[in-house]
Structure 1
Amino acid sequence: MASKLICFLVIFSLTSLFMGASNAWLMQPDFYASSCPNVEQIVYNTMKQAVSKEPRMGASILRLFFHDCFVNGCDASVLLDDTPTFTGEKTAKANANNSIRGFEVIDAIKCNLEAACPQTVSCADILALASRDGVRLVST
């Protein structure tokens, strides 16, 4: 019985190790170092402006990030606008009372990033970085 448990734990540990190693490239803090070296500064500066105008914006962006991740993973789907054949999460019944906000800040960040490095930074990464910086700005 003990040998089966040990065997299971070894196999589980090795599987976890290899799965983590195969996805390690997905979670590198310097992912945009060569393709968009100023990404973090651009996001931070835009968030700093937004939080200075509206101190609650840091929390609002964090909440926006939560709503994005909670539904189907952190894919920035919460940012999608409606089309004639698609109802986005922005206008879904759960969000109909404007409970999530900050879309204009994410749009401003995206605009600033597109000017610096077009078609490089994903909206999901923008939302994650903006959330991090929003928390950092309101906690200092």
Structure 2
Amino acid sequence: MKIGYTTGVFDLFHIGHVNLLRNAKSMCDKLIVGVTTDELVSYKNKKAVIPFEERAEIVRNCKHVDVVIPQPSMDKFEAWQKLRFDIMFVGDDWFNTDKWKDIQAQFEEVGVKIVYFPYTKGTSSTILNETLERLRESNK
């Protein structure tokens, strides 16, 4: 059985999230998704619009997802030590960055394949959030 793993905030769930999860599931037998906790989001100096428990429940109810777990840390290798996944799915904005070159090298040593998926053009939680903020401002 091939186990896949991906992570994300999954705030303001949108078609890009569905594309990621569908594509990931097509490449593994079991897909585990780490949903970023509110504490970790705030560590990145951001705030999720939707609270963690609700984001986790939304992801859990996506038909492509087998298991949802909290992601309390950015340490992907620590997650692998607990879950022993075979393949990890990541957005292509991380491809060839210094941080992910190191992570990929570490995972290669234990036989984990990293697959980079392209972001869905034209949509992101950031764009949706900015649009909502502009709409709220114009309605004041």
TM-score (norm 1): 0.29
TM-score (norm 2): 0.29
- Structure with the higher fraction of residues in helix conformation: 1
Larger-Rg structure: 1
- Structure with the higher fraction of residues in strand conformation: 2
